[in-house]
Amino acid sequence: RFLTQQPPENSLLSQNPPRHNRTKKKAMADKKSNLQLMSEFSVGGQKLKNRVVLAPLTRARCTPTKDPYDKINKIPNDIMGDYYEQRASGGLIITEATAISAAGCGWLNAPWAVTEEQMAGWKKIVDRVHKANGIIYLQLWHMGRQSHSSFHPDTKEILSASAIAVGSGQASTAFGTKADYEKPRAMTLEEIKQTVQDYKACAARAKAVGFDGVEIHSANGYLIDQFMQACSNKRTDKYGGSMENRVRLLVEVIEAIAEVYPANRIGFRLSPNGAYGGMGSEDNAELFPFVAKAVEKYGLAYLHLMDGLGFGFHGKCKVVTAMDMRRHFSGPIIANVGLTKEMAEGMVRSGAVDLAAFGRLYISNPDLPERFENGWPLAESAPYETWWRPTGAKGYTDWPKYKKPAEKTDKEEAKA
């Protein structure tokens, strides 16, 4: 009974507990968690140190210029290197969406991966991430109808699967303003063929500067998503109509890039539930599992699935879950959109997914994996105006890593 009783309120024991008790408490506080999120995992033959993924986030931090057509505002710069290096403790870094060609661009101050100067900028970033023991994939981006003609002064037009504009909202222009979405021109068969080669050429440039792999951005209403979904694809040729035809562009891009990278270094991203970019189709609940089956045979690096609803749900069919996709895709699956540590841990432990991507949490917590592992508090969310506006380091690389409070000495504890 004595051992289970508390010392009297004013006793010396209550005022100054034995040193071995304080040592035990300190050891318990320093003990790391047993989160499955923090366990190692293999992707593409590379060992990831944990299952935390930096989600691809458009931050528009290339150097701003007065002339929107100045080549400088498309070149990755040193501050972007700071950003990625700071977050290299994650198991996998996926870069922000990066234009594969002039035809595919459409976001001011977002990087390209086309010219030698642009690739030299990316090489500096890749080298810094590798030096920090990180693994980094380049996300390949063609905006399709979400672009604006101001980004294409030579052609003055934008392209898509069909001549159907985004239904609502506004596009960003090359001048930093907003304008109504424009009606795109349906791509010709020759233009589709050229676009596939643009993806392949961009992947080759990525490999040449050391990227560990690439992710095909086939989500969020960008070009490949426009071809896959019935709401934006009304073609009557071999790229339209049936699900097999609508998925053809993604398959051709995968096969082309597989001539550059081994298939297990090629990831792809899907957003079956998202409304962004005017997307959402009544047959999505059948289409996206079909996509998973169509690419299963390639042995790809991963499926990056935006299964969460925090990005807007189109509501045109039932929600497509990670488990729905797991039934048809045996490779690694990355969950995304609005995850907390607890949600991600549960999804990984359930077997529905293998990794978890974090975006907004990673913006303000560059040491997010360490905070998860040690149970440290998270910083407040970054202000919206810093997400993708040219604010330089503000809201981008000025987020500090967590500092543990200084531990009190025995004398300080006795006084307390």
Catalytically active residues, by annotation: 222
Q: Which residues contact 185 (CB under 8 A, 6 or more apart)?
A: 157, 158, 159, 160, 163
Single out the residue of 239, 69, 215 nearest to residue 160, CA to CA: 239
Reported residue count of the chain is 416
Instruction: Please give the Cα distance from 335 to 358 (Å, whole number).
Output: 9
DSSP 47: E
How far are the Cα atoms of 41, 337, 353 from residue 50, in angstroms, in the given order?
Answer: 6, 19, 14
For tokens 């407040």, the residue is 380
Q: Which residues contact 79 (CB under 8 A, 6 or more apart)?
A: 61, 392, 393, 396, 397
Query: Which residue type does 159 have?
Result: L
Instruction: Please give the Cα distance from 172 to 175 (Å, whole number).
Output: 8
Instruction: Please give the Cα distance from 308 to 230 (Å, whole number).
Output: 21
- CB-CB contact of 365 with 379 (8 Å): yes
Instruction: Please give the Cα distance from 59 to 387 (Å, whole number).
Output: 6
The three-state DSSP-derived secondary structure of 109-172 is CCCECCCHHHHHHHHHHHHHHHHCCCCEEEEEECCHHHCCHHHCCCCCCCEECCCCCCCCCEEE
Instruction: Please give the Cα distance from 413 to 38 (Å, whole number).
Output: 34
Judged by DSSP in three states, 395 sits in coil
- The secondary element (H helix, E strand) that includes residue 217 is strand 213-217
Q: Which residues contact 27 (CB under 8 A, 6 or more apart)?
A: none
Structure tokens at 131: 């030096």
DSSP string, 171-192: EEPTTS-EEEPPPPEEPPHHHH
